[in-house]
Structure 1
Amino acid sequence: MAMLSLSAAMSACADERYEGAAYAPDTERVLYRETHWRYSQDGVGQRIVLYRCPRGEAFARKVVTDSPSASAPDFDFVDARDGYEEGVWSRQGRRYVYTRKDTAAARKETALPDRAGAVIDAGFDAMIRSRWDALSAGKPIAAPFLLPSRGSFLDFRIEPLEQGNGAASVRRLRMALDTWYGFAIAPIELRYAVADRRLLTFQGISTIRDQAGRYQNVRIEFAAPTRSDAAERQAARTQPLVNSCAGAST
C-alpha cells in the first residue's frame, strides 16, 4: 500500500498551489506537510511537490509529468534524508521504473511491465476523475497500481461508501487490495468534494516514511487551491532539501 503517493492533483485547474498537512491518526500532531504546484507546459500537465518537516523545511521533492497519460505519468521522487529515490521515465517509446534505497546504494532500473489501465503515482487522481460517473452510481472499480519498489503492479478495488452527513457535497471512497490476502492490509479511505472532484482527505499508509524509515499511517487534510506563478514553481524545483527533520517542532 505504501506505493500510493496520494500527492495527487487537487483540481483540474492549471497554475495552482495547494497545501496538505499529514497528521498522526486521531490526533492533531503534524507529521509532515506537503506543498503542491500544478500547471501546464506545452499542453502537458506538470506537478511539483515539496514534502516538508513540521516546521517547514523541505526534505523531499517529486516532479510529475502527465505523459504518456495523466493516469500513468512519468515521475521522479527523492528524499534527501537518506537519498531514497523512485520514479518512472520514458525513452524512445519505452518506459522504465527505478528505485535507489539510499545514497550508498546503486540505482536499480527495470523495464516497466505493460498493464492495461495502469495507474502510476499521482495518476490515481486522474483515474478517479475519469471514472467518477461509475463511482457516483455506486459501482466499484478496479485498477492496477504500480509499486516501484517491486517494479510491478498490484490490483486494487475502489468502492464508494455510504455518504452519511454531507452526502450532497462529499463523496467517500475506500481503496483496498483486490486479492484474497487484501484483508491483511488496512484499506485507504478518501474524501472528495462533489462540486469539483477535489481530494479533501486521505487516510491510510503514506509513501513518506518517518525518520526511522518506516512507512507511516497518516490523515492528510488538503486545503483549497490558490493561484501560483512560474517564479514560485521554479523556486520549488530548485530549493535545497534538508537531510533531517530532527528538532522540528510539531
Structure 2
Amino acid sequence: MLCAAPVGARASVHLQDALAHARDGGALLYRESHWQYRQGDMVRRLVLYRCPDGRAFARKTVVERGAPHAPDFDFEDARDGYREGVRSTPAGRWVYVRPRAGAPMRERRVDVPPNGVIDAGFDASVRQHWGRLRAGRELAQPFLVPSRMDFIPVRVRPGAAVDWRGMPAQRMTMRLDRWYGFAAPAMELTYALADRRLLEFAGIASIRDAKGDHQDVRITFPQAPVLADAGKLQQALAAPLVRDCGA
C-alpha cells in the first residue's frame, strides 16, 4: 500500500477540481479534487472523490517512482471497501485487488512492458506522444486493468480539432485494440492545445454507482491547476471517507 509522509510547508502544491456528470442526463454524480506535489525526487498525486455535497467517499494516491506512464497507485472506495492498486517492491511490481470490505486481497506479480500504461499514467503517455497524435497517427499501448490483473491492448485515435468552451482543443478516442473492441464503448478525451492538459473525459468511469455498476460519465476540468496550501493537502490526505453519499 502507498503511504504519504507529512507534506512540507514549503512544498509546491497544485490543486485542480473536476465535476462528473451523467452523460445521459447531466445530473451531477460526484466531484473530484486533484492534488499534485513533490516529495523528495518523486511526483505524488492525490485524488479525493467527493459526494455532490462535498464529502469524500474515495481516495487515490499516485506515486511516480520512474516512468511517468507507469506509476504506483492505491485506490480505495469506502462505500463498499473496494480497493485496487500497484506497488513496487525489490521483487518487482505487484497488482492487488480487494472486491469489497472483508474480502481477501488478491495480488499478482506483473511484468510491465516498456510502453505499458498504469492508471493516471495514461495522461502522461498522451503528452509524451503528443506530436504523434497531433500528426494524426494512432497510438497502441498495453493498459493495466487491475480487476483482470493483466494488461490489455488499447488504441488511441486522434480526432478533430474542436473549440472547448472557447479554448482550442484536440479530441481523441480510446478503445480496446482487440477484435471484439467494436463492442466495447469508446472513451472520448479532449485536451487543450495550449498546454496539453486534459479538459474533458467522457466514457465509463472507474467510480461505480450504488449497485456496483461502472457509470457512464462526462468529467470536466473547467479550470487549470492552481497553487494550493500544503496544510490543505495534508488535511485532504487524512480526510475521513464516508460510506454513503445519502443524508
* TM-score, normalised with respect to structure 1: 0.90
Aligned to 2:7: none
The within-5 A match list for 1:71-220 is: 71-165=69-163, 169-220=168-219
Aligned to 2:3: none
How big is the alpha-carbon RMSD for the aligned residues of Structure 1 and Structure 2? 1.5
Residues 52, 59 of structure 1: 8 Å contact kept: yes
CA distances 1:26-85 after superposition (whole Å, capped 9, x unpaired): 433101110010011112111001000111110000000012321000001100001100
Q: Which amino acid aligns with 1:139?
A: R
| Stretches of structure 1 lacking an aligned partner (at least 5 in a row) | 1-13
Residues 156, 172 of structure 2: 8 Å contact kept: yes
CA distances 1:180-206 after superposition (whole Å, capped 9, x unpaired): 100111100010001000100000000
Residues 154, 177 of structure 1: 8 Å contact kept: yes
Residues 98, 148 of structure 1: 8 Å contact kept: yes
Residues 113, 152 of structure 1: 8 Å contact kept: no
Aligned to 2:234: 234
CA–CA distance in structure 2, aligned partners of residues 93 and 18 of structure 1:
35
Q: Which amino acid aligns with 2:82?
A: Y
CA–CA distance in structure 2, aligned partners of residues 127 and 114 of structure 1:
14
Q: CA deviation at 1:18?
A: 0.5
Residues 70, 118 of structure 2: 8 Å contact kept: yes
Aligned to 2:243: 243
CA–CA distance in structure 2, aligned partners of residues 22 and 203 of structure 1:
9
CA distances 1:121-173 after superposition (whole Å, capped 9, x unpaired): 00000000100000111111111100001110110000111224569820000
SS in 1 for 2:127: helix
CA–CA distance in structure 1, aligned partners of residues 162 and 86 of structure 2:
38
Which structure ranks higher in relative contact order (CA pairs < 8 Å, sequence separation ≥ 6)? 1
SS in 2 for 1:162: strand
CA–CA distance in structure 2, aligned partners of residues 92 and 99 of structure 1:
20
* Ranges of 4+ aligned residues in structure 1 off by more than 6 Å: none
CA–CA distance in structure 2, aligned partners of residues 139 and 97 of structure 1:
31
CA–CA distance in structure 1, aligned partners of residues 111 and 182 of structure 2:
26
CA–CA distance in structure 2, aligned partners of residues 61 and 114 of structure 1:
24
Aligned to 1:51: 49
Q: Which has the higher strand share?
A: 2
* TM-score, normalised with respect to structure 2: 0.91
Residues 139, 157 of structure 2: 8 Å contact kept: yes
| Stretches of structure 2 lacking an aligned partner (at least 5 in a row) | 1-11
- CA shift in 2, pair 1:168/1:29, >3 Å: closer
**Fraction of identical pairs, as percent:** 47
SS in 2 for 1:181: helix
CA distances 1:89-139 after superposition (whole Å, capped 9, x unpaired): 011151100000111200001101332301000000000010000011111
Aligned to 1:11: none
